[in-house]
Amino acid sequence: MHKPYIQRQRADWWLRNPAYRRYMLREATALPLFLYTLLLMSGLFQFTRGEAAFLQWLEMLRSPWLLALHGLALAAALFHAVTWIALVPKILVIDTDRLRVSPAAVKLAHQVGAVVCNAGLLLLAVLLLRAAAGN
Amino acid sequence: MTETVTVRVQRYRPEEDTAPWEQSFEVPYSEDLSILDALNQIKDQQDPTLSHRWSCRMAICGSCGVMVNNEPKLSCKTFLRDYREQAAVTVRALDNFPIERDLVSDISGFIDHLETVQPWLIRSEEQPVSAGAYPQTPEQMQRYAAFSQCINCGLCYAACPQFGRDPAFLGPGALALAQRYNLDSRDEGAAQRMQWLNAGEGVWSCTFVGYCSEVCPKDVDPAAAINRGKVASDINYAVNLLNILRGKDDA
Amino acid sequence: MDVRQADIVIVGGGGAGLRAAIAAAEANPQLDILLLSKVYPMRSHTVAAEGGCAGVIQPHDSLDAHFDDTVSGGDWLCDQDVVDYFVRHATEENLRLEHWGCPWSRKPDGSINVRAFGGMKIERTWFAADKSGFHILHTLFQTSLKYPSIRRCDEYFCTDLLLEGGACAGIQAIDMRTGSHTLIAASAVILATGGAARVYRYNTNGGIVTGDGMALAYRQGVPLRDMEFVQYHPTGLPGSGILITEAARGEGGVLTNRDGYRYLQDYGLGPETPLGEPKNKHMELGPRDRLSQAFWHEAQAGRALATSRGEAVNLDLRHLGEARINERLPFIRDLARTYVNVDAVHEPIPVRPTAHYTMGGIQTDRYTATALSGLFAAGECASVGLHGANRLGSNSLAELSVFGRVAGEQAAARASQGPSVDPQRLLARAQDNAAVWEALRESTGNERLATIRDEMARAMEDGAGIFRLPGQMRQTCTKVAELKDRYSDLGLVDRSRAFNTEWLNAIELGYLLDVAEAMAHAALARQESRGSHQRPEDFPQRDDAQFLKHSLVYRAADAPRLDWQDVVITRSQPAERHYGAAGQQENKS
Ligand SMILES: Cc1cc2nc3c(=O)[nH]c(=O)nc-3n(C[C@H](O)[C@H](O)[C@H](O)COP(=O)(O)OP(=O)(O)OC[C@H]3O[C@@H](n4cnc5c(N)ncnc54)[C@H](O)[C@@H]3O)c2cc1C
Ligand code: SF4
Ligand code: FES
């Protein structure tokens, strides 16, 4: 007789082990980012409806709830970026007979890249704001 | 009186039981006692009907994987001394595999996955043995060394929620083995194995939980192997696309 | 009864069995090859071999030198035609493994690296760090997957050989998942079931190494040869017996007693070699039998260390430094840390001799054929005549490939010509056998499995250990006979069929007792000291006049029957075995 017992994955599998909870936390960073995207989209929508609507939207952004969302989204994005970049050297391994880049250098390149991109965006925003103020 | 430890062991006897249950044993404690020693002692002294797999008792044959307090472990490399603070040690069959009996898992699915990825050296041209060894420098060997350390114990499969959800997922051990050959300077089979990496059950089923690498007793780091497979799969996709665009769709 | 058929059945998925399967598949791709094993092949105990695998490769080495080391290491009890064939093919087999992907350690220029090993005059041990057997086994298993004609029966436990018209015509096995009996008819059967050191209490072997194949053949009247020769490995961990490879000494590790003194110089292995400069065939690189015997004397003289796990001496690797230990001996560092809580970089590892290897086994000719036609044997379960009275480390892994291949080719030749066997003709016999095993599963006697097993292991240690004293040897023979008797009154608790390991362990115990009996009686009959067989009290000398012969043990009703077979000597006449300075003298002369 052959009657193996089939173990089914429990719905709460991700609660049962710290490693899974850490993983779920990482995955969960998508949530505040998703809400933040919705917020931006709604801004864009209000913008198309005219100045008054957009100003009202801007006003709404001052609510403590939405400030908190911004903080949360920033924290989530940072957490995700930092942990992701920490893993990159294991995944992006450049080690062939012709070309070898040390894991530390791969990591540094990603860190520098992230900083440069973010600084660039910030700069762009500042420039745009200036231009807008100039008008 | 000698100190004893409570070991709770999962039992499942297919001829009598419909579901697993738990049985408690008291085992005399000693510094050197591994979980495997404890199980053997229970079998010898207390209940000969307990079934579990083991052989080498030196963490190299890969037989003895079980869940110890909900973590996948080699029972021969896990010691009671590390659980002294806990009230009891619970030993179960590995998660995600069917249970054959007691602590014996049905790992045939995992073995099939190993066979799928063509884990042998593939050459377009075989050299005769008389021509001597294929050269390989220590640096070249280093590139696949970690992925060649896998003892097929299946702990990473017990740790993988994706495999738990879908047993067709080739899983950490098999995909690490594919990478072991792909990264070997003597091998020319990466293109053939790409079909398995790219398949629905291949690397893209992995969501990078990463627990497989944490539990691996041989530091194989299968999560890294799989995610390097994703990079390879991306490159392969890009190259194919480029070839198609250039009208060379023989790829 | 599940009835099947194949052209070739191979029992055992270790190095020898896998190599045989591949050789047979390559020899004739039309053949249906069935590889049957009681564990998944990569669990086989070949996986535990650490040190390496012999094969002449350096320009200043020669086949003759490998031949001489093997023959003198075996105390002239090797069949020299077999040794000749072996040394000529070992390197080619190592290269074949390399072509299949085995990650042999390399020199910086990408060529094969070799290390020193005990009893070998020149470095010729190929290694894959300190996991040579692991890499060989996984390479062979993975390569075997390439051949569609190799089918596997994993976790099938062989219980009987089946005969028809005086020839071996198949086997019978229990499917461990269901506990059902399976008959497999085949025109050729290869036994590759490994060693039997589990008859001893402290040993380096896995729980599955229980001499099954030896007993299976023995029960069909096939003689076991040279069973008295059991190698003790000088460096196992006290308590568990887990092996610390000889490569630890090959890399420069030294042995010291409780006074920190390198005691081997007192046992004809000196002069003391400088630290970090190991010298082939000197001191720590003397042959295993001599080193184990030296430990015994040190312990007798009270110069061993007392540890919580029993008496030991120190294996000191500290002077090698962390980098070299990590590169060459990473597994050893890990094992010492896990099992005796010692970091080899900072502390010496306590070690003691433990039972390790059975030089003897199923008698075969140089083509791996046994006395029973249709039955072949290779690997540690066989006695092809290579190791004589003492095996040199790293010769046995090479043996798996060299003679595994021969066995596969011989079986393929037989299966290609021979008419196939009709399984129905074996059925009645198989059903009778199955009834016996079923009775065992249901047995209600008074004896406990674990008790008999432990008493056997202790008796073997006492009367068939490193040194064999006449009274104890006789006691051991009596004890084994008594245990066999008590075995027939065994009582089992587990009545189930699915993965009933109590039942399977009971069958294994039956095998172990047969092997123990053959060992104990052969030891008593060999009235001399040679290689690993030492009788310091009654027969301290080698006696070529009477015992330059292989012992043969046949199963018989009461006690086993002993016979003798001539050793094949082609070009090396027996001489004294010299190591250390004395060996060097001899080389000059
Ligand atoms: C710890 C250790 C270290 C060693 N190191 C070295 C070294 O460095 N160099 C060297 O040359 N040698 C070494 N040796 C010796 C060498 O490893 C062994 O002699 C060799 O691996 C035996 O291989 P094998 O194929 O004959 O048997 P194994 O690898 O033991 O395989 C036996 C097979 O038979 C199967 N089997 C057994 N009984 C049954 C049954 N009843 N039914 C079905 N299947 C069965 C098993 O499942 C297994 O698959 C070492 C040995 C040990 C124990
Ligand atoms: S990758 Fe690690 S955990 Fe997974 S099977 Fe291999 S050795 Fe075990
Ligand atoms: S018994 Fe071999 S790995 Fe644990």
Residue B19: CB partners within 8 Å, gap ≥ 6?
A: A5, B12
Residue pLDDT, tens place only, B131-163: 999 999 999 999 999 999 999 999 999 999 999
Indicate if the alpha-carbon torsion angle B236, B238, B239, B244 is positive or negative.
Answer: positive
Ligand 1 centroid vs C582 CA: distance in angstroms? Answer: 35
Banded pLDDT at C585 (limits 50, 70, 90): low
Q: Do B120 and C104 touch (CB under 8 A)?
A: no
Residues in A closer than 8 angstroms to C178, CB to CB, are: 1-2
Banded pLDDT at C587 (limits 50, 70, 90): low
Ligand 2 atom nearest to B218, measured from its CA: 7
Cβ–Cβ contact A2 with C under 8 A: yes
Which of C249, C256, C313 is CA-nearest to residue C277? C249
* Per-residue H/E/C for C210-235: CCHHHHHHHCCCCCEECCCCEEEEEE
What does each C-alpha distance from C500 to B45, B98, C184, C317 come to in angstroms? 17, 17, 21, 44
Residues C44-56, mean pLDDT to the nearest whole number? 97
Say what the pLDDT of residue B1 is.
57
Say what the pLDDT of residue C576 is.
84
What is the distance between the alpha carbons of residues C356 and C351, in angstroms, rounded to a whole number?
14
**What's A105's DSSP letter?**
H
What is the distance between the alpha carbons of residues C450 and C270, in angstroms, rounded to a whole number?
44
Assess whether C66 carries a catalytic annotation. Answer: no
Low-confidence winner among B212-226, C278-292, C365-379, C380-394 (lowest mean pLDDT): C278-292
Residue pLDDT, tens place only, C451-467: 999 999 999 999 999 99
Ligand 3 centroid vs C40 CA: distance in angstroms? Answer: 13
Ligand closest to the CA atom of residue C211? 1
Banded pLDDT at C269 (limits 50, 70, 90): very high
Determine contact, residues C581/C283, Cβ cutoff 8 Å: no
| Phi, psi (degrees; rounded to nearest 5) at B208 | 60, 55
Q: Tell me which residue in B32, B111, B130 faces C239 most closely, judged by beta carbons.
A: B32
Ligand 3 probe mutation, B37, B73, B74, B216, most atoms within 8 A of CB: B74
Q: Do B121 and C100 touch (CB under 8 A)?
A: yes
Q: Does position C579 have pLDDT exceeding 90, yes or no? A: no
Residues C115-141, mean pLDDT to the nearest whole number? 95
Say what the pLDDT of residue B251 is.
44
Which of B200, B191, B170 is CA-nearest to residue B236? B191
Indicate if the alpha-carbon torsion angle B234, B238, B241, B247 is positive or negative.
Answer: negative
Residues of A with a Cβ under 8 Å from any B Cβ are 1-7, 9, 13-14, 16-17, 19-20, 23, 27, 87, 90-93, 95, 97
Ligand 3 centroid vs C180 CA: distance in angstroms? Answer: 26
Residues B106-115, mean pLDDT to the nearest whole number? 98
Residues in C closer than 8 angstroms to B63, CB to CB, are: 39, 43
Ligand closest to the CA atom of residue B152? 2
Banded pLDDT at C118 (limits 50, 70, 90): confident
Catalytic residue among C43, C89, C115, C233: C233
CA R_g for chain B: 22
Cβ–Cβ contact A10 with C under 8 A: no
Q: Do A1 and C178 touch (CB under 8 A)?
A: yes
Residue type, C81: D
Determine contact, residues C74/C389, Cβ cutoff 8 Å: yes
Residues in B closer than 8 angstroms to A1, CB to CB, are: 14-15
In three-state secondary structure terms, C194 is coil
- Pair of tokens at residue C537: 């009290």
Cβ–Cβ contact C99 with A under 8 A: no
Q: Do A2 and C497 touch (CB under 8 A)?
A: no
Q: Do B44 and C40 touch (CB under 8 A)?
A: no
Say what the pLDDT of residue A135 is.
62
Q: Do A1 and B12 touch (CB under 8 A)?
A: no
Q: Does position C578 have pLDDT exceeding 90, yes or no? A: no
Residues C160-165, mean pLDDT to the nearest whole number? 96
pTM across the whole model:
0.96
Q: Tell me which residue in B19, B97, B161 faces A13 most closely, judged by beta carbons.
A: B161
Ligand closest to the CA atom of residue B220? 2
Q: Do A2 and C178 touch (CB under 8 A)?
A: yes
Question: Which residue carries 């015994």 as its tokens?
Answer: C296
DSSP-assigned states of every residue in C60-89: T--HHHHHHHHHHHTTT-S-HHHHHHHHHH
Determine contact, residues C234/C245, Cβ cutoff 8 Å: no
Residue pLDDT, tens place only, A79-104: 999 988 988 988 899 988 888 999 99
DSSP-assigned states of every residue in B207-251: ----HHHHH-TT---HHHHHHHHHHHHHHHHHHHHHHHHTT-TT-
Q: Tell me which residue in B98, B140, B227 faces A7 most closely, judged by beta carbons.
A: B98
Whether the bond into C271 is cis, omega within 30 of 0 = yes
What is the distance between the alpha carbons of residues C492 and C113, in angstroms, rounded to a whole number?
52
Alpha-carbon gap: A23 to the closest alpha carbon of chain C (Å): 30
Per-residue model confidence as pLDDT tens for chain A (135 residues): 789 999 999 999 999 899 999 999 999 999 999 999 999 999 999 999 999 999 999 999 999 999 999 999 999 999 999 988 988 988 899 988 888 999 999 999 999 999 999 999 999 999 999 998 876
What kind of fold does domain B108-250 have according to CATH? Answer: Fumarate Reductase Iron-sulfur Protein; Chain B, domain 2 (1.10.1060)
| Phi, psi (degrees; rounded to nearest 5) at C403 | -90, -20
Which of C46, C172, C196, C127 is CA-nearest to residue C438? C172
Average pLDDT across chain C, whole number: 95
Q: Does position C558 have pLDDT exceeding 80, yes or no? A: yes
Indicate if the alpha-carbon torsion angle B109, B110, B111, B115 is positive or negative.
Answer: positive
What is the distance between the alpha carbons of residues B82 and B38, in angstroms, rounded to a whole number?
13
CB atoms within 10 A of CB B139: 14
Give domain limits for chain A: 12-83, 92-135
Say what the pLDDT of residue C583 is.
73
Determine contact, residues B175/B197, Cβ cutoff 8 Å: yes
Residues B235-245, mean pLDDT to the nearest whole number? 90
Under 8 Å CB pairs connecting chains B and C tally to 154
What is the distance between the alpha carbons of residues C262 and C283, in angstroms, rounded to a whole number?
9
Determine contact, residues C466/C292, Cβ cutoff 8 Å: yes
- The region, left, alpha or beta by phi > 0 then psi within -120 to 50, assigned to residue A49 is alpha
Crossing angle for the helix pair C449-463 and C470-487, to the nearest 10 degrees? 160
CB-based pocket (< 6 A), ligand 2: B 150-156, 172-173, 176, 216, 218, 220, 222
Candidate CATH numbers 1.20.1300.10, 2.40.33.20, 1.10.150.130, 3.90.1300.10; the one for domain A12-83: 1.20.1300.10
Residues C460-481, mean pLDDT to the nearest whole number? 96
Say what the pLDDT of residue B84 is.
87
- Pair of tokens at residue C464: 């068939």
In three-state secondary structure terms, B116 is helix
Ligand 3 atom nearest to B54, measured from its CA: 1
What is the distance between the alpha carbons of residues C377 and C217, in angstroms, rounded to a whole number?
9
Catalytic residue among C198, C249, C414, C535: C249
Alpha-carbon gap: C318 to the closest alpha carbon of chain B (Å): 23
Q: Does position B248 have pLDDT exceeding 60, yes or no? A: yes
Q: Which domains does chain C have, with CATH numbers?
A: 232-356 (3.90.700.10)
Class of the CATH-defined domain B4-105: alpha beta
Residue C506: CB partners within 8 Å, gap ≥ 6?
A: C440, C443, C449, C490, C492
Q: Do C42 and B119 touch (CB under 8 A)?
A: no
Assess whether C233 carries a catalytic annotation. Answer: yes
What is the distance between the alpha carbons of residues C328 and C127, in angstroms, rounded to a whole number?
9
Residue type, A76: A
Q: Does position C557 have pLDDT exceeding 90, yes or no? A: no
Low-confidence winner among B175-189, B211-225, C411-425 (lowest mean pLDDT): C411-425
Low-confidence winner among B216-225, C113-122, C563-572 (lowest mean pLDDT): C113-122
In three-state secondary structure terms, A50 is coil
Beta strands in B30-184 (DSSP E): 65-68, 71-74, 89-92, 99-101, 104-105
Residue pLDDT, tens place only, B23-75: 999 999 998 899 999 999 999 999 999 999 999 999 999 999 999 999 999 99
DSSP-assigned states of every residue in C450-477: HHHHHHHHHHHHHHSSSB--HHHHHHHH
Residues in A closer than 8 angstroms to B20, CB to CB, are: 5
